[in-house]
Amino acid sequence: AKREGRARVCFFESETDQELRDRRLLQHDLRQALEQNQFLVYFQPQARMDGEVIGFEALLRWNHPTRGFVPPDQFIPLAEENGLIIQIGEWVLREACREAASWPRPLQVAVNLSPVQFQAGDLERSIHQVLLETGLTPTRLEVEITEGVLIGDFTRALNLLRRLKALGIRIAMDDFGTGYSSLSYLQSFPFDKIKIDRSFISNLEATPQSAEIVRAVLSLAHALNIPVIAEGVETEAQRAFLAHEACEQMQGYLVGRPDLIERYLDLVGVTVER
């Protein structure tokens, strides 16, 4: 039994070492990714329940020279750990705003902000700068934040959100329902939109509880006059349920996958010569 125990410990230790090494390697590579143009911004359409596209969410992609595409869930935490997310996040914001400013149709563009961008640096100034530089009308920019932004220095985060809102930018609460205190944050700040987390939408058919939770979120949001977008809508059955419950908007593979903007040029009003 003793030997078994030791063997097991060794197994876990070596696995942890391996993971740690890999994490360091990725973190090292991340430092060069910006200068070497390895990042791309993908765009995913956001639509009304009738399918009419009203905007796009910018989603970061890292095309690693040897590993290929590394999922954001893997590298964003690393970039948050070493602070690189501040520069990377500003790059995404600039790319997304520049792209949106070039669209003939005045659609919205949504950009994800990391809690680290809120804690450090001068987020307000850099957003203001990007808006001036790209000429994007502030009301066309929506920033998506998770409750992580409000954990920590709550007052500072709240003041920053208020100043961003004063610039005309819209603020969406992302991943709604997954955290511990989503509800109390609704009380502290007038969010412009709530994004119901994908987990509730994917489970709509399978678990009756999910349908009840989605209904409850919608009725709460509507009582507070906050429009709701459902994430991860993949099927017509999900769309129909949400439309029936008066959900305002949807995003998901049913409308379109995240992709290079080239794929969506017709939607943004660029007529492509064929």
Q: How far is the CB of 43 from Ca ion (least distance, A)?
A: 12
Quick check: 80 binds Ca ion (CB under 5 A)? no
Rounded Cα gap, residues 109 and 139, in angstroms: 10
Residue 42 bridge partners (DSSP)? 59
Least CB distance to ligand C2E at residue 8 (A): 33
- CB-based contacts of 245: which residues, under 8 Å, 6+ apart? 214, 215, 218
Q: Is 196 helix (H, G, I), strand (E, B) or coil?
A: strand
Q: Which stretch binds Ca ion (CB under 5 A): 29-37, 205-213, 228-236, 239-247?
A: 228-236
Q: Which residue is nearest to ligand C2E (CB)?
A: 252
- Binds 253: which of Ca ion, ligand C2E, none (CB < 5-8 Å by kind): ligand C2E
Least Å distance between CB 19 and Ca ion? 22
C-alpha span between 212 and 192 (Å, rounded): 23
> Which of 274, 229, 239, 242 has its CA nearest to residue 55?
229
Q: Do 42 and 99 form a contact (C-beta atoms < 8 A)?
A: no
Q: Radius of gyration (Cα) for the chain, nearest Å?
A: 20
Interacting stretch for ligand C2E, rule CB under 6 A, among 126-134, 148-156, 231-239, 265-273?
231-239
Q: Any contact of residue 12 with ligand C2E (CB under 6 A)?
A: no
**Among Ca ion, ligand C2E, none, partner that 258 touches (CB below 5 to 8 angstroms by kind):** ligand C2E
Residues 175-214 vs ligand C2E: string with x where CB under 6 A?
x----------------------x----------------
CB-based contact 88:120 (threshold 8 Å): no
Sign of the CA dihedral running 70, 71, 74, 79? positive
Q: Kindly state the tokens that stand for 159.
A: 């003041």
Mapping DSSP to helix (H, G, I), strand (E, B) and coil, where does residue 105 land?
Answer: coil
- Chosen from Ca ion, ligand C2E, none, partner binding at 99 (C-beta under 5 to 8 Å by type): none
Residues interacting with ligand C2E, by CB under 6 A?
44, 59-60, 71-73, 76, 89, 92, 112, 114, 144, 174-175, 198, 231-232, 234, 251-253, 258
Residues interacting with Ca ion, by CB under 5 A?
112, 144, 174-175, 231
